[in-house]
């Protein structure tokens, strides 16, 4: 299938700053009180330099005051610094409180918007193989941003500030010594950058191996019956062990790189301290530097090292967070190709719906045409069956009819209105499709049937099942309507899931009902019974049934035969079977062979 | 109460850490060794800085001339301390990381091993997502505190050493440490204890948000076709809002404690300056000592946080550990026996189900409404009266002594959860060697469960399943797998090559055998057309193949093992009926070829096939018809058509529908006025 790349969310190569600007444009609420928050952050950063300054002042003006140690001065210095510390602590609290409230609120908004956006994307974007990655857009990608903000973001902000503030204070005390410190750190930073890149690659491998391991675990869990039935637990265990150990090895490689990177900073710190002592003593001897200043400088070097080391580590997380943010924004930037016309749209006229396909063509992006020049009129209130071999294009017909996709050529009209002009609110309440895979939510039978009509009471639901002739089946369930259906409905058999899906569509009370092989896993007797009741309850509405059992076609007012993307035959069953060499004639012959 | 439980968790958390140390004692020793070295060198660095100031800087500046040797010695000492710290850091970080990763890997192996050992009934009760997170995030959570543990242990040593050195230096300055260190420690403990429940709630909300997203996107088609995007978004937004609130509450707590933890050591430094100035004045300390102690408070602030990290992670660790234990200690293993079946030259096996009863334990607790018990007791006498045409089964050794009064709740292999949902009642039938038996019944009648019992995916609550007169529970795993093969309703394909998917690593299956099996399953054509033929990777869940191709692949997998009993659970629904007929005919066709005039007629395998199609049923020697978990008819197709109305209704449904339509049409043609009345009659 060529669709593996078609409709994929494009990955952008973009700078972190570009992502940041795009993100800010999308969540203007992030700007709320930003100036105040930054102001508070600045105050709490200045507090970081308070202690070394206090030590310098205490030593030079107090302990080593020209007239002998002056305890009064030390007292004043300590009291003033303590006041500064209390103030910066309060500012730190206020800053974090504002930051978290604003950012979490904005990100929750982004999360919800992305969720809705994914639902608004067409079937093409929602294909099964990409669902996992779509889920991660509204879960782990956003989590990555919030977790970074909670742990790394504040640390990064404060530490970068601390680097700036200590640099300024250091430069004030001695520009020469500041150069020594930078002389030790700049080469170290270059080395750290190289290792950070390797580290990012190493963590990339870790994530990849984690994915492989989870796939293996999931295979061993989902495939448990096969593994047991074929007695291949030993082989499965070996495969699991291989992926588990591969991930462990990748993790161990990553941590080795990380430690080397981190120790570079430590060695640079040692070099800086040693250099400061050697040069500082010379400067002191020359009289350009006091003892207090030199001592304060040693403290400042430590205050400079820690944030640089921490910041380089956190920067890694920052890159992940920015990448996560970018992925979320990229999803939001994908324009829904099957969009709700909204205000500009119109509602479907009241009453039964007629269908018109005018020169409709469809092909998946990059693939061969699936439907070609389909022109067909289906009058209101008729029951039509669409039949054809697997891959003939009959399911595409249903998807175009319900506007899950838009045709690449021509137009689909319902009651004379072009489908892309119909408001979704009107379309989805009047036109309902029952897909082959009757997906159920992890809740009860009743809740699932109520999905389209939350206001229905249990009595009304029970009545609906009775009308469909499924009352017996419901009574046979362990807890009746309250029976839990399990994850994806897996507590029910495939056929039973289809019964619930059918009831769900039935209570939605549509004017056009589209059934896409909706009863393919139901036993023949039940199917025939359903067919009869459906005939009765859908009288007065238009029904289009995509059928793989020809019993459905036999019961329909009219049969449309699709072959290799074109409509090749049309008419009532009796008429079509009269030519045994026609496409339908052959399909019917093979059907009879199976069932008689 | 709350205090007691959190103390409880602390104790249990420390015990979990103990298990970790017991599992990896050597790596732990390396990590703690490195950490202690690192910590002690941090204290040393404070004293070196102090010494450099007191012994190098002050004399040099005061005398106006630098003692070059002393300056270089000081610089060398600072550098040496840094190098020593790097060494300690290597030991600590690599040790801690390796320990954490080895524990994760080891527990992932144990957990997944357990998944392979536990019976399917256990798997049925646990959602796939839960089992995945047991192996992934729960393992991670359990061993998360391992990463900062050596650091924390080193820090504790450092705190003791720092206090000791303070007392050695000056007892008055030490009082500052006495005030600050315990306060710092207490602040960390309080912080962790307050944080734990908030973090847990955020984690919980994160999982719930993720669950809604998974389900909603899985059901995207339904959401879209029913136009329920807004309602789904509201459902998601409600949880996302709760997650936001949980995260804000985490953030606020950080806002309170982080700045305080930052400020407290700084206040210590100031106190040292103040107290030290007085002591210096009294001549009790030197400037060297004063600077050293002040420096000590500056460098200690960060490591002390490590203790907080460990404490903060303990509740999550305990929760993860508990979930791991619930898998590791789960009972209800389905042990294999030690009997090996003679392969009898690959001749078909005989399968007998004798008075089998089975119920599923529900995955979720039943809702408040009491379940309607389907009157088991009143129907029980039927146990004695076998359905028409059913020959009494060969009396198994394990037959209940009083079959007529068979208890409604038979002694189960494992205690069934209360409210277990009965699926099969007293099912008995035989698939004689070499014969094909079709299992027919309406949707939800228990056919798939019978199939699971036949290949021992599950064990009966009562009654026995025997293969060649041996209870399947007595068979070894290899013998059971070598005798039977199941092709399930939904084909399962591994993310591997075509060849591996067919052989599954079983011994003695050559490429020729693989091609023969593919030919039999009519899959040789499409496999030969694949770019790498047998070496083609099929992708996750066989994504590169169509439904019908996957199904034929699993058929070939079953055939390749030359099973003596082949079980097909509606396995050919995605396969052309012609292919199905060809497969069954091929299996039965060998009967004629291998006929030894002296011996009994033999086909390669006995076949149990779940079917709806008339064409499939027609190939069977006998039909077993089930309804509501009971066998209500056995015999040939013709017999059942006559004797069992339910069966007749099922298999002739299409014909009758057509006939009815025909009649209606004729009547409508004759007299359109009678049509309305006709509806009532029908």
Asked if A365 and A7 count as a contact pair (C-beta separation under 8 A), the reply is yes
Q: Which of B223, B477, B557 sits opposite A119 (nearest CB)?
A: B223
The strand pair at A558-563 and B421-431 is best described as: unpaired
* Contact yes or no for A150 and B250 at CB 8 A: yes
Domain ranges of chain A: 21-172, 175-288, 344-595
Nearest C-alpha in A relative to B208: A139
The interface residues of chain A toward chain B in range 526-545, judged by CB-CB distance below 8 A, are 526-528, 531-532, 536
The encoded tokens of residue A335 equal 């324009």
3-state secondary structure string across A461-519 = HHHHHHHCCCHHHHHHCCCHHHCECCHHHCCCCHHHHHHHHHHHHHHCCCCEEEEECCC
The interface residues of chain A toward chain B in range 245-264, judged by CB-CB distance below 8 A, are 245, 247-248, 251-252, 255-256, 258-259, 262-263
Give the rounded percent of residues in chain A with a pLDDT score beyond 70: 93
Separation CA A218–CA A212 (nearest Å): 10
Q: Which of B232, B371, B492 sits opposite A479 (nearest CB)?
A: B371
* Contact yes or no for A277 and B628 at CB 8 A: no
Average pLDDT, stretch B664-682? 53
- The residue that leads in pLDDT, B375 or A337, is A337
Q: Which of B89, B248, B615 sits opposite A263 (nearest CB)?
A: B89
Q: Which of A263, A284, A521 sits opposite B61 (nearest CB)?
A: A284
pLDDT at residue B177 in the model = 83
* Contact yes or no for A214 and B81 at CB 8 A: no
pLDDT by residue (tens digit) across B322-352? 888 888 887 766 778 888 877 666 678 888 8
What residues of chain A lie within 8 A of the CB of B554, using their CB?
226
What residues of chain B lie within 8 A of the CB of A81, using their CB?
270
Nearest C-alpha in A relative to B359: A478
Average pLDDT, stretch B195-206? 82
pLDDT band at B105 (very low <50, low <70, confident <90, very high): very high
Average pLDDT, stretch A27-36? 79
Give 3-state DSSP helix, strand, coil % of chain B, rounded to 5. 65, 10, 25
- Listed range (A2-16, A500-514, B194-208, B243-257) with the worst mean pLDDT: A2-16
What residues of chain B lie within 8 A of the CB of A524, using their CB?
612, 650-651, 653-654
Asked if B199 and B145 count as a contact pair (C-beta separation under 8 A), the reply is no
Mutate to test the interface with A, among B180, B232, B270 (most CBs of A within 10 A): B270
Give the rounded percent of residues in chain B with a pLDDT score beyond 70: 81
Mutate to test the interface with A, among B221, B360, B483 (most CBs of A within 10 A): B221
* Contact yes or no for B661 and A555 at CB 8 A: yes
pLDDT band at B591 (very low <50, low <70, confident <90, very high): very low
Whether A13 and chain B come into contact, CB under 8 Å, resolves to no
pLDDT by residue (tens digit) across B385-424? 333 333 333 333 333 333 333 333 333 333 334 456 678 8
Average pLDDT, stretch B594-616? 64
pLDDT band at B365 (very low <50, low <70, confident <90, very high): very low
Mean of pLDDT over chain A: 81
Average pLDDT, stretch A95-101? 87
pLDDT at residue B405 in the model = 34
Asked if B221 and A399 count as a contact pair (C-beta separation under 8 A), the reply is no
Distance between A438 CA and the closest CA of chain B, angstroms: 8
Average pLDDT, stretch B636-662? 79
What residues of chain A lie within 8 A of the CB of B484, using their CB?
229
What residues of chain B lie within 8 A of the CB of A224, using their CB?
115-116, 120, 123
Q: In Å, how far are B43, B190, B193, B312 from B307, measured between CA atoms? A: 17, 12, 12, 9
Give the position of tokens 């161990």: A252
pLDDT at residue A596 in the model = 62
Nearest C-alpha in B relative to A533: B679
Mutate to test the interface with A, among B61, B80, B312, B548 (most CBs of A within 10 A): B61
pLDDT at residue A290 in the model = 78
Give 3-state DSSP helix, strand, coil % of chain A, rounded to 5. 65, 10, 25
> Residue A225: is its pLDDT beyond 70?
yes
What residues of chain A lie within 8 A of the CB of B217, using their CB?
118, 126, 131, 134-135
What residues of chain A lie within 8 A of the CB of B220, using their CB?
118-119, 123, 126, 131
Q: Count A/B contacts: CB-CB distance under 8 Å.
A: 477
Separation CA B351–CA B354 (nearest Å): 10
pLDDT by residue (tens digit) across A132-150? 667 777 777 788 787 777 6
What residues of chain B lie within 8 A of the CB of A532, using their CB?
657
Average pLDDT, stretch A75-85? 89
Residues 6+ apart with CB under 8 A from A312: A189, A192, A196, A261, A265
Mutate to test the interface with A, among B115, B209, B214, B225 (most CBs of A within 10 A): B225
pLDDT at residue A216 in the model = 84
Whether A40 and chain B come into contact, CB under 8 Å, resolves to no
* Contact yes or no for A266 and B206 at CB 8 A: no
Q: In Å, how far are A520, A526, A571, B615 from A554, measured between CA atoms? A: 16, 16, 11, 20
pLDDT at residue B676 in the model = 45
What residues of chain B lie within 8 A of the CB of A537, using their CB?
none
pLDDT band at B133 (very low <50, low <70, confident <90, very high): confident
Separation CA A427–CA A414 (nearest Å): 10
Nearest C-alpha in B relative to A522: B443
- Listed range (A36-45, A515-524, B586-595) with the worst mean pLDDT: B586-595
pLDDT band at B544 (very low <50, low <70, confident <90, very high): low
Average pLDDT, stretch B497-501? 85
pLDDT band at B601 (very low <50, low <70, confident <90, very high): very low
The interface residues of chain A toward chain B in range 313-372, judged by CB-CB distance below 8 A, are none
What residues of chain A lie within 8 A of the CB of B478, using their CB?
231
Look at residue A560 and give its three-state secondary structure.
Answer: strand
Average pLDDT, stretch A3-21? 59
Give the position of tokens 């908004």: A109
Mean of pLDDT over chain B: 76
Cβ burial B524-544 (10 Å sphere, 16+ → b, else e):
bebbeebeebbebebeebbeb
pLDDT at residue B34 in the model = 93
The encoded tokens of residue A336 equal 């829904």
Asked if B263 and A88 count as a contact pair (C-beta separation under 8 A), the reply is yes
> Residue A335: is its pLDDT beyond 80?
no
pLDDT band at B670 (very low <50, low <70, confident <90, very high): low
Average pLDDT, stretch A398-422? 87
* Contact yes or no for B79 and A271 at CB 8 A: yes
Asked if A516 and A395 count as a contact pair (C-beta separation under 8 A), the reply is yes
Distance between B143 CA and the closest CA of chain A, angstroms: 14
Distance between A567 CA and the closest CA of chain B, angstroms: 23
Whether A501 and chain B come into contact, CB under 8 Å, resolves to yes
Class of domain A344-595: alpha beta
* Contact yes or no for A295 and B57 at CB 8 A: yes
Separation CA A275–CA A304 (nearest Å): 15
Give DSSP secondary structure letters for A95-125: HHHHHHHHHHHHHHHHHHHHHHHHHHS-TTT
pLDDT band at B95 (very low <50, low <70, confident <90, very high): very high
Nearest C-alpha in B relative to A499: B443
The encoded tokens of residue B87 equal 């060494």
> Residue B272: is its pLDDT beyond 70?
yes
The CB density around residue A134, as the number of other CB atoms within 10 Å, is 24
């Amino acid at each position: 299938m060529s669709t593996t790349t078609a409709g994929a969310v494009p990955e952008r190569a973009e700078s972190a700053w570009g992502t940041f600007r795009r993100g800010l444009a999308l969540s203007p609420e992030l700007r709320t009180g930003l100036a105040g928050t930054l102001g508070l952050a600045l105050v709490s950063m200045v507090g970081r330099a308070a202690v070394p300054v206090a030590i310098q002042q205490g030593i030079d003006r107090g302990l080593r005051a020209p007239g002998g140690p002056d305890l009064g001065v030390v007292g004043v210095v300590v009291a003033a610094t303590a006041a500064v510390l209390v103030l910066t602590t309060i500012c730190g609290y206020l800053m974090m409180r504002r930051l978290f409230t604003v950012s979490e609120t904005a990100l929750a908004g982004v999360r919800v918007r992305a969720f809705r956006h994914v639902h608004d994307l067409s079937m093409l974007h929602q294909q099964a193989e990409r669902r996992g990655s779509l889920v991660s857009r509204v879960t782990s990608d956003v989590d990555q941003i919030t977790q970074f903000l909670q742990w790394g973001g504040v640390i990064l902000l404060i530490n970068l500030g601390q680097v700036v503030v200590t640099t300024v204070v250091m430069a004030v005390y001695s520009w020469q010594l500041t150069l020594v410190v930078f002389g030790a750190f700049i080469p170290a930073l270059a080395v750290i950058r190289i290792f950070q890149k390797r580290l990012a690659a190493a963590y990339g491998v870790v994530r990849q191996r984690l994915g492989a391991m989870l796939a293996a675990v999931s295979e061993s869990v989902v495939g448990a019956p096969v593994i047991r039935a074929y007695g291949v637990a030993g082989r499965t265990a070996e495969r699991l062990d291989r992926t588990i150990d591969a991930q462990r090895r990748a993790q161990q490689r990553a941590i080795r790189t990380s430690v080397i990177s981190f120790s570079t900073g430590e060695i640079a710190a040692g070099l800086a301290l040693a250099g400061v002592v050697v040069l500082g003593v010379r400067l002191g001897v020359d009289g350009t530097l006091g003892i207090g200043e030199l001592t304060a400088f040693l403290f400042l070097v430590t205050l400079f090292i820690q944030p640089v080391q921490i910041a380089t580590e956190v920067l890694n997380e920052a890159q992940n967070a920015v990448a996560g943010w970018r992925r979320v924004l990229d999803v939001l930037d994908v324009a829904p190709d099957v969009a709700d016309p909204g205000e500009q749209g119109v509602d479907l006229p009241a009453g039964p719906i007629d269908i018109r396909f005018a020169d409709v063509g469809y092909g998946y992006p990059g693939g061969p045409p699936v439907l070609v020049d389909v022109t067909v009129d289906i009058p209101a209130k008729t029951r039509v069956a669409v039949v054809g071999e697997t891959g003939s294009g009959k399911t595409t017909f249903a998807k175009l009819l319900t506007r899950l996709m838009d045709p690449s050529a021509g137009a689909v009209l319902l009651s004379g209105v072009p489908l892309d002009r119909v408001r979704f609110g009107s379309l989805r309440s009047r036109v309902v499709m029952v897909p082959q895979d009757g997906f159920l939510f992890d809740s009860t039978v009743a809740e699932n049937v109520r999905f389209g009509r939350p206001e229905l009471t249990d009595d009304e639901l029970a009545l609906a099942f009775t009308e469909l002739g499924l009352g017996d089946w419901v009574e046979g369930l362990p807890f009746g309507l309250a029976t839990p259906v399990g994850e994806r409905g897996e507590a029910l058999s495939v056929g039973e899931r289809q019964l619930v899906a059918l009831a769900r569509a039935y209570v939605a009370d549509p004017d056009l009902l589209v059934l896409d092989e909706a009863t393919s896993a139901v036993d023949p007797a039940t199917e025939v019974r359903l067919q009869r009741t459906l005939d009765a309850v859908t009288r007065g509405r238009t029904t289009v049934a995509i059928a793989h059992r020809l019993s459905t076609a036999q019961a329909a007012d009219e049969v449309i035969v699709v072959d290799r993307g074109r409509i090749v035959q049309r008419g009532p069953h009796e008429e079509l079977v009269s030519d045994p060499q026609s496409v339908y004639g052959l399909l019917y012959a093979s059907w009879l062979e199976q069932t008689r | 109460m709350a205090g007691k439980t959190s103390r409880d968790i602390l104790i249990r958390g420390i015990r979990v850490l103990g298990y970790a140390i017991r599992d990896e004692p050597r790596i732990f020793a390396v990590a703690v060794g490195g950490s202690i070295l690192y910590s002690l060198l941090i204290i040393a660095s404070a004293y070196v800085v102090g010494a450099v100031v007191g012994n190098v800087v002050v004399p040099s500046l005061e005398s106006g001339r630098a003692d070059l040797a002393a300056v270089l010695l000081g610089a060398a000492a600072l550098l040496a301390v840094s190098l020593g710290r790097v060494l300690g850091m290597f030991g600590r970080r690599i040790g801690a990381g390796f320990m954490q990763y080895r524990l994760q890997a080891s527990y992932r192996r144990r957990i997944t091993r357990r998944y392979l050992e536990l019976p399917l009934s256990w798997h049925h009760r646990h959602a796939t997502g839960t089992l995945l997170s047991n192996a992934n995030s729960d393992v991670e959570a359990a061993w998360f505190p391992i990463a900062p543990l050596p650091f924390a242990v080193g820090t504790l040593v450092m705190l003791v050493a720092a206090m000791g050195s303070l007392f050695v230096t000056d007892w008055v300055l030490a009082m500052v440490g006495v005030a600050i260190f315990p306060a710092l420690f207490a602040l960390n403990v309080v912080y962790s204890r307050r944080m734990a429940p908030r973090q847990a709630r955020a984690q919980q909300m994160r999982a719930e948000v993720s669950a809604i997203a998974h389900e909603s996107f899985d059901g995207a088609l339904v959401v879209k076709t029913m136009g329920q995007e807004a309602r789904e978004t509201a459902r998601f937004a409600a949880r996302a809002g709760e997650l936001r609130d949980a995260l804000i509450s985490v953030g606020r707590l950080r806002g309170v404690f982080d700045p305080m933890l930052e400020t407290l050591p700084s206040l210590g430094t100031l106190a040292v300056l103040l107290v030290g100035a007085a002591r210096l004045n009294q001549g009790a300390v030197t400037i060297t000592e004063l600077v050293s102690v002040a420096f000590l408070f500056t460098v200690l602030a960060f490591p002390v946080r490590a203790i907080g990290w460990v404490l903060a992670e303990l509740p999550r660790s305990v929760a993860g550990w508990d979930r791991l234990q619930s898998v590791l200690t789960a009972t209800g293993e389905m042990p294999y026996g030690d009997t090996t079946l003679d392969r009898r030259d690959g001749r078909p096996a005989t399968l007998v189900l004798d008075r089998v009863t089975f119920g599923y334990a529900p995955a979720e607790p039943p809702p408040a409404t009491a379940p309607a018990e389907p009157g088991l007791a009143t129907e029980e006498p039927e146990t004695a009266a076998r359905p028409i045409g059913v020959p009494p089964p060969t009396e198994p050794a394990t037959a209940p002594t009083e079959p007529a009064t068979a208890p409604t709740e038979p002694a189960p292999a494992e205690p069934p959860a209360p409210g277990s949902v009965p699926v099969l009642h007293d099912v008995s039938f035989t698939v004689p060697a070499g014969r094909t038996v079709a299992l027919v019944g309406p949707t939800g009648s228990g056919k798939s469960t019978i199939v699971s019992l036949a290949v021992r995916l599950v064990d009966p609550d009562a009654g026995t399943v025997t293969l060649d007169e041996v209870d399947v529970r007595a068979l070894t795993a290899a013998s059971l797998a070598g005798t039977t093969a199941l092709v399930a309703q939904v084909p399962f394909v591994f993310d591997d090559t075509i060849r591996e998917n067919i052989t599954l690593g079983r011994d003695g299956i050559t490429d020729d055998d693989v091609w023969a099996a593919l030919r039999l399953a009519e899959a040789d054509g499409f496999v030969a057309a694949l770019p790498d033929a047998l070496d083609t990777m099929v992708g996750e869940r066989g994504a590169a193949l169509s439904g019908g191709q996957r199904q034929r692949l699993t058929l070939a997998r079953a055939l390749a093992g030359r099973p003596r009993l082949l079980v097909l659970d509606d396995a050919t629904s995605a396969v052309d009926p012609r292919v199905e007929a060809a497969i069954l005919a091929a299996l039965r066709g060998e009967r004629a070829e291998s006929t030894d005039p002296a011996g009994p007629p033999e086909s390669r395998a006995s076949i149990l096939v779940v079917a709806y199609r008339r064409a499939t049923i027609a190939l069977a020697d006998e039909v077993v018809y089930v309804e509501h978990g009971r066998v209500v008819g056995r015999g040939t197709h013709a017999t059942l058509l006559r004797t069992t109305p339910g069966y007749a209704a099922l298999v002739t449904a299409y014909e009758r529908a057509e006939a009815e339509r025909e009649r209606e049409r004729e009547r409508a043609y004759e007299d359109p006025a009678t049509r309305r009345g006709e509806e009532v009659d029908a």
